[in-house]
């Protein structure tokens, strides 16, 4: 059993802390947000993450997991300190490492010789090397160990990783991490710290590229009369391509992909590497988000200004309440900026506690959002949207069109309710054609 400190108790930190306690270690997590820490101490978890509240409370009760805002003497007594701190994008797109750097003086002063710092935050290639220089403690190993969990599946992914990437200069570091993650069964990629850091960015950027490629194909399908679902299936059977991350949708977003692609572009700029492909990726993703607004406009029987648009889903994906860089929220705001009246509902978002601006109003139910709508726009793939009482909702709408950007609704069911369903990547809509006729 190791005694470890986790710095940062957000999605990655809290999951890491709970899972390490689950593996039998004694874990203390430190977070700068006093309100969050007080809630955690009371066993309240504000992240929507299946299994996480139960796991946190279980290990709090055994005394193997605790929380505070104050490092006190704990770091001195830790075998390892895991950094799960935020690395948000600066205005210029580069990663802001202030939270990570802020801990270096404390770690330099208090860590005992032979201990380890494990860097789980996503940091630009070359960061570990810089931090080692600033830390100036040759007796402490700093291991790059990027995290690949997906929100909504955090516990599962942490305990069942596809791979464990270990970027270290000393073989002893790999042995240590293998013992810390003792029962995790995954291929281990041993490499140098800079390559480990790049693996994380390269993975996220590749996922973003796949999504954008799918959206580009979907738009092409609309113009040439092809079927994106069949095209996706047809290419996805090729194991060299794979069938995930190929769904057309409202573009990629969330707390990781946008900031990580931008940080990699920034690394390219800093090192004068031509990353034109990634510039195009950012621009094309923004275009596909704007395109949803254009499609809504085409489907409306009246001008967008003053029209009533019901938005279903605001979180960046289903099974999370995370709104950071959410394409759904972005598109809802774009519609509101065009002076549409937008009423939005998300099952995981507390309407009364979430501030909005302009003509965007959050509601507590899908029924309230859809009442009086000229068009319904589905932006997050919550399974419950397919189960809504569409017959009842249709009666309360002013219009009769639903644009499902996630392709999860049942066409027959909606047709039975008297609604026209429009999805991305289907041939240019007869609905819009009829409107302009
Ligand atoms: N969220 C994900 O799905 C995910 C997946 C893999 C990797 N990552 C990476 O992991 C890192 C953390 O991401 P996250 O999503 O967990 O962030 P988060 O915002 O959910 O959590 C960060 C936590 O750190 C705390 N914090 C901020 N500054 C602090 C400081 N100076 N000292 C102590 N605590 C501080 C915050 O209060 C917050 O609770 C980022 O680099 C991110 O890119 C995130």
User: Which ligand 1 atom sits closest to the C-alpha of 259?
Assistant: 43
Which of 6, 7, 10, 127 gets mutated to test ligand 1 (max ligand atoms within 8 A of its CB)?
10
Domain 192-437 sits in CATH at 3.40.50.720
Distance 17 CA to ligand 1 centre (A): 13
Instruction: Give the 3-state secondary structure of the chain.
Output: CCEEEEECCCHHHHHHHHHHHHCCCEEEEECCCHHHHHHHHCCCCCCCCCCHHHHHHHHHHCCCEEEECCCCCCHHHCCEEEECCCCCECCCCCECCHHHHHCHHHHHHHCCCCCEEEECCCCCCCHHHHHHHHHCCCCCEEEECCCCCCCCCHHHHHHCCCCEEEECCCHHHHHHHHHHCCCCCCCEEEECHHHHHHHHHHHHHHHHHHHHHHHHHHHHHHHHCCCHHHHHHHHHCCCCCCCCCCCCCCCCCCCCHHHHHHHHHHHHHHCCCCCHHHHHHHHHHHHHHHHHHHHHHHHCCCCCCCCEEEEECCCCCCCCCCCCCCHHHHHHHHHHHCCCEEEEECCCCCHHHCCCCCCEEECCCHHHHHCCCCEEEECCCCHHHCCCCHHHHHHHCCCCEEEECCCCCCHHHHHHCCCEEEECCCCCCHHHHHHHC
Q: Hey, whose CA ends up nearest to atom 7 of ligand 1?
A: 147
Q: Can you give the pLDDT at residue 91?
A: 96
Q: Can you give the pLDDT at residue 431?
A: 58
* Equal CATH topology for 3-190 and 192-437: yes
Distance 246 CA to ligand 1 centre (A): 27
Distance 10 CA to ligand 1 centre (A): 5
Which of 38, 255, 258, 326 gets mutated to test ligand 1 (max ligand atoms within 8 A of its CB)?
255
Domain extent listing, the chain: 3-190, 192-437
Q: Can you give the pLDDT at residue 355?
A: 77
Q: Hey, whose CA ends up nearest to atom 11 of ligand 1?
A: 121
Per-residue model confidence as pLDDT tens for the chain (437 residues): 999 999 999 999 999 999 999 999 999 999 999 999 999 999 999 999 999 999 999 999 999 999 999 987 789 899 999 999 999 999 999 999 999 999 999 999 999 999 999 999 999 999 999 999 999 999 999 999 999 999 999 999 999 999 999 999 988 999 999 999 988 999 999 999 999 999 999 999 999 999 999 999 999 999 999 999 999 999 999 999 999 999 999 999 999 999 999 999 999 999 999 999 999 999 999 999 999 999 999 999 999 999 999 999 999 999 999 999 999 999 999 999 999 999 999 999 998 878 787 789 999 999 999 999 999 999 999 999 999 999 999 999 999 999 999 999 999 999 999 999 999 998 755 556 656 65
Q: Can you give the pLDDT at residue 74?
A: 85
User: Which ligand 1 atom sits closest to the C-alpha of 123?
Assistant: 41
Ligand 1 first shell, C-beta below 6 A: 7-13, 30-33, 36, 84-87, 99, 102, 121-122, 147, 149, 151, 255-256
Distance 7 CA to ligand 1 centre (A): 9
Distance 136 CA to ligand 1 centre (A): 25
The pTM (predicted TM-score) of the whole model is 0.94
Distance 182 CA to ligand 1 centre (A): 24
User: Which ligand 1 atom sits closest to the C-alpha of 122?
Assistant: 41
User: Which ligand 1 atom sits closest to the C-alpha of 120?
Assistant: 10
Which of 45, 86, 325 gets mutated to test ligand 1 (max ligand atoms within 8 A of its CB)?
86
Residue 256 annotated as catalytic: yes
Assigned fold of 3-190: Rossmann fold (3.40.50)
């Amino acid at each position: 059993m190791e005694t470890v400190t986790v710095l940062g108790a957000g999605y990655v930190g809290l999951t890491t802390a709970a899972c390490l306690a689950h593996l039998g270690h004694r874990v203390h997590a430190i977070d700068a947000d006093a309100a969050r820490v007080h809630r955690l101490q009371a066993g309240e978890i504000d992240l929507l993450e299946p299994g996480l509240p139960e796991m946190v409370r279980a290990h709090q009760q055994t005394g193997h997991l605790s929380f505070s805002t104050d490092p006190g003497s704990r770091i001195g007594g830790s075998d390892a300190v895991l950094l799960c701190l935020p690395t948000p994008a600066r205005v210029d797109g580069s990663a802001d490492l202030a939270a990570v750097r802020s801990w270096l003086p404390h770690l330099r002063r208090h860590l005992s010789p032979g201990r380890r710092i494990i860097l789980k935050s996503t940091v630009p290639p070359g960061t570990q090397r810089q931090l080692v220089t600033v830390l100036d403690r040759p007796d402490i190993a700093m291991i790059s160990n990027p995290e690949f969990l997906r929100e909504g599946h955090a516990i599962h992914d942490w305990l069942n990783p596809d791979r464990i990437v270990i970027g270290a200069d000393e073989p002893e570091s790999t042995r240590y991490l293998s013992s810390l993650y003792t029962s995790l069964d995954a291929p281990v990629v041993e490499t140098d710290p800079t390559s480990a850091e790049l693996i994380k960015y390269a993975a996220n950027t590749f996922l973003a590229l796949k999504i954008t490629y799918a959206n580009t194909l979907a738009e092409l399908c609309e113009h040439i009369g092809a079927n994106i679902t069949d095209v996706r299936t047809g290419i996805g059977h090729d194991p060299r391509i794979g069938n995930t991350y190929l769904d057309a949708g409202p573009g990629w977003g969330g707390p990781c992909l946008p900031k990580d692609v931008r940080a990699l572009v920034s690394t390219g700029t800093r090192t004068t590497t031509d990353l034109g492909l990634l510039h195009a990726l950012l621009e094309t993703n923004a275009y596909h988000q704007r395109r949803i607004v254009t499609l809504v406009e085409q489907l409306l029987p009246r001008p967008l200004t003053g029209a009533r648009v019901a938005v279903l889903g605001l979180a960046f994906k289903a099974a999370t309440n995370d709104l950071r860089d959410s394409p759904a929220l972005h598109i809802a705001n774009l519609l509101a900026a065009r002076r549409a009246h937008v009423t939005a509902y998300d099952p995981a978002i507390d309407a009364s506690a979430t501030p909005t601006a302009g003509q965007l109003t959050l509601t507590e139910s899908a029924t309230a959002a859809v009442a009086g709508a000229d068009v319904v726009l589905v932006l997050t793939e919550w399974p419950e949207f397919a189960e809504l009482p569409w017959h009842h909702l249709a009666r309360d709408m002013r219009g009769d069109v639903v644009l499902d950007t996630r392709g999860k609704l049942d066409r027959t069911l909606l047709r039975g309710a008297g609604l026209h369903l429009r999805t991305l990547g289907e041939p240019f809509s007869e609905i819009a054609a009829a409107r302009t006729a």
